[in-house]
Amino acid sequence: MNLKNLIFATFFLFVFQQTFAQRNYEGYNFFGLQGGITFFDIHTDDLVTEQREGFTAGFTTRGAFRNNFDLIYGLSFQSATVGVEGRESFGTKTQNIGYTIQGVQLNFLGSYNIIVKHLSFEFGPVFDLNGKMKLDDSKFEGYILTGYKKLTAKDIQEISRFNVRLAGGLTAGLEHFRISAQYQYGVTNILGGLNSKDLENDNFKGNSSTIIVAGVIYF
C-alpha cells in the first residue's frame, strides 16, 4: 500500500460516512484538526527496548451513523521514537540508542456515544505506512545490541513498512474541542522486514505499542 492508496481510501471513507450521516435524521458531520503526543514501544523478546515520546498531527472527521454510534476516520502524520539497548563493540556498559520512525496513518473507527457530542468510546483498525527505523545519531551505528555478538544498531533499521494496528480509547470534552486518549496495538510483525536481511537473528518478532494523548478541534 502506498500514499496514493491511503488518500484514495480516505476519500472513499469520507463519501461513505457522508452518505450515512445524511440518512440519519439527526445527522451531523464534523471536520477536525488534531495533534498530540505519542508514547511508542515495541513488544519483543528479540531486543531490549525503551518507550519514548514522539508526536502526531493530522485531520479527522466524525459523523453520526446510527442510534448512539458515530463513524470516525482520519489521516495523520506520526513521528515515533524508541530506544534499543546496546554497547560499544569492545565495551560492557550499555545504553539506550535512539531511533525514529516516521510515517502516515489511516484510521477507521467506530464510536459509541456515552454522552452525545461530549463523551465516547472509540475502537477499530489503524493502517500505517512508515519509513525505516532510523538511527538518531550515526555515531552508534557500530554498537552491538544487547543479546547479540555481532548484530549492530545499524542492522535493524529496515523494519516492515506497512503495519496494521487495533485501536481503542476515550474522547471527552465539548462539542468543538475534545481531548482523546487512545491505545494502539500492532497486530502485524513490525520487525518482520529484518528477517530477509541475513542477520544474526533470522526470526525477529515484534508488535508495536502506542499510547496517544491528543487534542481535537472540530469545525
- pLDDT tens-digit readout, 136-174: 999 999 999 999 999 999 999 999 999 999 999 999 999
pTM: 0.88
The rounded distance, in Å, linking the Cα atoms of 59 and 39 is 20
Residue span of the structural domain in which 151 resides: 3-218
- Structurally, the chain folds into a number of domains equal to 1
| Residue in 37, 179, 77 with CA at minimum distance from that of residue 122 | 179
The per-residue pLDDT for range 85-138, each reduced to its tens digit, is 999 988 889 999 999 999 999 999 999 999 998 999 999 999 999 999 999 999
Which CATH number does the domain housing residue 165 bear?
2.40.160.20
Name the β-bridge partners of 100. Answer: 81, 134
pLDDT band at 3 (very low <50, low <70, confident <90, very high): low
3-state class (DSSP) for residue 134: strand
Residue 65 reports pLDDT greater than 90:
no
